[in-house]
Chains A and B, each alone.
Chain A
Amino acid sequence: MATPDSAEVVVIGSGICGALAARKLALRGVPVLILEAGPRIDRGRIVAAFRNSPRKGDWMSPYPYSPWAMQPQYKPKDNGYLIQAGPYPYPAEYIRVVGGTTWHWAAQAWRLVPNDVRIKSLYGVGVDWPMTYEELDPWYQEAEEILGVAGADNTGSPRKHPFPLPPVADPWSMIRFRERLAPVYPVVANTVARNSRSYDGRPACVGNNSCQPICPVNAQYLGINAVEAAEAAGVKVRADAVVYRIEADAKGRIAAVHYYDPDKTSHRVTARQFILAANGIESPKLLLMSTSSKYPNGIANSSGMVGRHLMDHPSSSLTFYADEELWLGRGPQSPSSINTMRDGAFRSQHAAYRLDFTNISQVLSVTEALIAEGVYGPEFEKQLRWRAARQCNVKNVLEVLPNPDNRITLSSEKDALGIPKPVAHYSIDDYTRRGAERSKQDFAKIAELMGGTGLRYSPDGQFANNQHITGTLRMGDDPAKFVTDGFGRAHDHENLYMCGTGVMPTAATMNSTLTAVALALRTADHMVPAKSSGADNGGAT
């Protein structure tokens, strides 16, 4: 039996963007209800599940799977949730639980570089954003102060105020990369939502080297921290509530959302305003599902743009052995980058990219390789130590331009609740592939400077996905071309807003979470402007 319910604002999705937008509204006195499709989970149980997992390299493996809130999983076999239409595979991963996918992010909290929002004007590719970098600066700052972002001022992203935290201490391996590449490349510390000292009641990092899939000690800001902060501000969170329909009234305002509980009992929740924050795949899926006689193409989709311009960051890479012992695996996983190719006139010709160094322990991959090679006896331990000490990896993080044919659509296949599964249509164009080709020069030079041997390039034309699901709900001024306006409000519905990486018009070269959080805070501020200055701006949660 349906349970009537209401709130001033209903937020669909409890990830970091939805939760922080909800918190901001609650701090301004607005009653907010978050509906989350998945269950609540416990950090300690995730840590234990990882240690007991037979698939340590599969960062989805410790997370629970809920039949009523399916999520893409590919190991030990594809669960068939995210259907691949091709031509290039798009095996996105995300977690449908309270707190969302940043449970297992690397906490890389980059800003854009200023020219990222003007690539159409400057380079004739992609599209310009409906705002300047300077307009984003205060929202970045607010996001950074909530998340506790650590960084230095040499990343190419200007700022008016200092980082809340100094950069995280370099692992020895990255000190050596910085020293040895210095003649050619500046190696900079990543800006990360990882504590370089105690901050906001959370401890400094102690180097567990499991940022993905789980920070055991709460030194890394996660979506669950955002949820807890939202709840402390008065937000109500309802888990296991799978929204399956957004209902508009005769005037085009959103009147209600409908959700199923795990038993498929339907519930209807009304509100004055709504925020859709269910990620770049689930959000367009829900909009496309919400058809009616007045909205045959779904909610917010008069432009036909919902689900289109799907982007991410493909990566190719080089793995090699340095000529000295680096011992990756000491300290956090994602410490350093080279940013010199994130912007430049070349962007008219090929994709920009960031070069990313991993500090993930190599012991697992080396062990698997030695077993595969059949190395036994005393040579096994000798080889394990030699390779684990010297093996290192650099990858590119490539920009993908918005392409309307890269999109999310609905399948005729249904999940356990009878909800259509999403379909990914994806390709990687020549612009991005030319960027990958260009980066091979950098890979080779880096290996040379590190005395590299045993060079193993990822196969030409093959890319790893980075799970930075971008686009599909893009913001822009023209209602015929964009789903949302410059503040994330649906062009078609005055009381429906969207938060998350989906609203980003382009993907640029940085991990997308910080930008999405900054935009979400800006959206919440636009929905309910502050009555007095700064009550919820800045400062920790």
Chain B
Amino acid sequence: MKSVNTARGKVEPVDGCATPASRPDGPIDPARRKLLAGLVTAYTASLVPWALAVPVTDAGHGAFVALSAILAGKRVLNSVLGQRLHAALVDIEPGFDADCQALLKQIEAQQIDPAKLQGALDAAHSSLAPLPRKLMRAWCLGLVGDGEATRCVAYENALDAVMVADVLKPPTYAYGPYGSWSNPPAAKGGDEHGNA
């Protein structure tokens, strides 16, 4: 695996959301731009071929993006949201990037099927066992942190809303004109995963 040792600046919370120190929510600096394809092995590439062109800043961010794609399945992930989630997760847990890299390395080395990942980590009592759920909770519910320190980073753009957006609106958003909900739900056609 090609390694990139780009130092990351200190992450500061901005308006309640932790964001990269370089440019909050903005595109990745072209000078720091890497592609995920350059950071992963053939096994990861085979799991998430659609994600390989995603720009990343460094190995830690790359591991986060690769793991996110593996865990979330066949879904193009919102790269801006990904930056926000990553920054928030790193902000509350300085060792987050290292954990992501370690877990990705383990998946690649052992060629672990994503469907069997959590069971394998739990069975091994791995210190990395909580990590997949942290990532999925961030992507799918928009939440990072625990207990009273939990922060909401995403709602409408969280994956749980996006994955059903052809049928449902997130609560508080109007479904449609009065009575439109009496019609049969018309999910858009797509593959077996509902992807249009």
Binding site for B on A (CB under 8 A): 47, 50-56, 76-77, 169-172, 175, 196-197, 204-210, 214, 216-217, 325-327, 329-331, 360-361, 363-364, 367-368, 370-382, 384-385, 388-389
Contacts and interface: CB of A to CB of B under 8 A. Distances in A.
Given A172-B185, A377-B71, A385-B193, A206 B175 contact: yes
Given A56-B155, A214-B172, A327-B167, 10 more contacts: A54-B143, A169-B181, A172-B184, A175-B182, A371-B137, A377-B73, A379-B115, A380-B73, A384-B163, A389-B185
B173 A208 contact: yes
Contacts of A47: 172
A385 B185 contact: no
11 contacts: A51-B152, A54-B150, A197-B178, A206-B177, A210-B171, A331-B181, A367-B140, A368-B141, A374-B132, A376-B118, A379-B73
Given A54-B151, A217-B174, A376 B181 contact: no
A239 to B, nearest CB: 25
B173 A367 contact: no
B84 to A, nearest CB: 14
Given A76-B147, A374-B117, A385-B164, A172 B182 contact: yes
A376 B172 contact: no
Kindly state the interface size class of chain B when it binds its partner.
35 or more
A172 B168 contact: no
B30 interface: no
Contacts of A170: 182
B147 A51 contact: no
Contact of A377 (B114, B140, B161, B174): B114
A50 B172 contact: yes
B92 to A, nearest CB: 13
A53 B16 CA distance: 12
Contacts of B148: 76-77
A50 B152 CA distance: 10
B175 A331 contact: yes
A171 B185 CA distance: 10
Closest CB pairs A-B (n = 9):
A374-B118, A207-B175, A331-B181, A377-B114, A169-B179, A54-B150, A330-B181, A378-B73, A206-B174
B39 to A, nearest CB: 20
A389 B186 CA distance: 11
A385 B136 CA distance: 16
B152 A367 contact: no
B81 interface: no
A382 B183 CA distance: 23
B180 interface: yes
Nearest to A53: B152
A358 to B, nearest CB: 13
A204 B181 CA distance: 13
A50 B73 CA distance: 28
Given A371-B140, A374-B133, A385-B194, A364 B160 contact: yes
Contact of B181 (A56, A171, A210, A364): A171
A375 B113 CA distance: 11
Interface in B64-81: 70-75
B119 A374 contact: yes
B93 interface: no
Interface string B86-124: 000000000000000000000000000111011100100
A197 B179 CA distance: 10
Contact of A388 (B74, B113, B118, B164): B164
Contact of A381 (B150, B174, B195): B195
B122 A374 contact: yes
Q: Give the one of B16, B70, B193, B195 with max A CB within 10 A.
A: B193
Interface of B: 16, 47, 70-75, 113-115, 117-119, 122, 132-133, 136-137, 140-141, 143, 145, 147-148, 150-152, 155-156, 160-161, 163-164, 167-169, 171-185, 187, 192-195
A142 to B, nearest CB: 26
Contacts of B47: 377
A307 B113 CA distance: 59
Contacts of B147: 76-77
A381 B132 contact: no
Contacts of B143: 54
Consensus secondary structure, chain B interface: loop
Contacts of B74: 378, 381
Q: Give the one of A171, A205, A376 with max B CB within 10 A.
A: A376
Q: Give the one of B71, B156, B160, B176 with max A CB within 10 A.
A: B160
A76 B145 CA distance: 12
A216 B172 contact: yes
B171 A376 contact: no
Contacts of B136: 371, 376, 380
Nearest to A197: B178
Contacts of A374: 117-119, 122, 132-133
Contacts of B163: 381, 384-385
Nearest to B183: A172
Contacts of B178: 169, 196-197, 204-207
B180 to A, nearest CB: 7
A55 B152 CA distance: 9
Given A210-B172, A329-B168, A371-B136, A378 B182 contact: no
B185 A327 contact: yes
A484 to B, nearest CB: 39
Contacts of A363: 160-161, 164, 168
Contacts of B73: 376-382
Contacts of B173: 208
Contacts of A175: 182
Nearest to B194: A385
A330 B185 contact: yes
A371 B160 CA distance: 11
Contact of B193 (A214, A373, A375, A378): A378
Contacts of A367: 140-141, 160
Contacts of A52: 16, 152, 155
B172 A371 contact: no
Nearest to A382: B193
Given A54-B143, A77-B148, A378-B193, A361 B171 contact: yes
Contacts of A197: 178
B152 A208 contact: no
A369 B179 CA distance: 31
Contacts of A210: 171-172
A207 B180 CA distance: 8
Contact of A171 (B75, B155, B182): B182
A372 B140 CA distance: 12
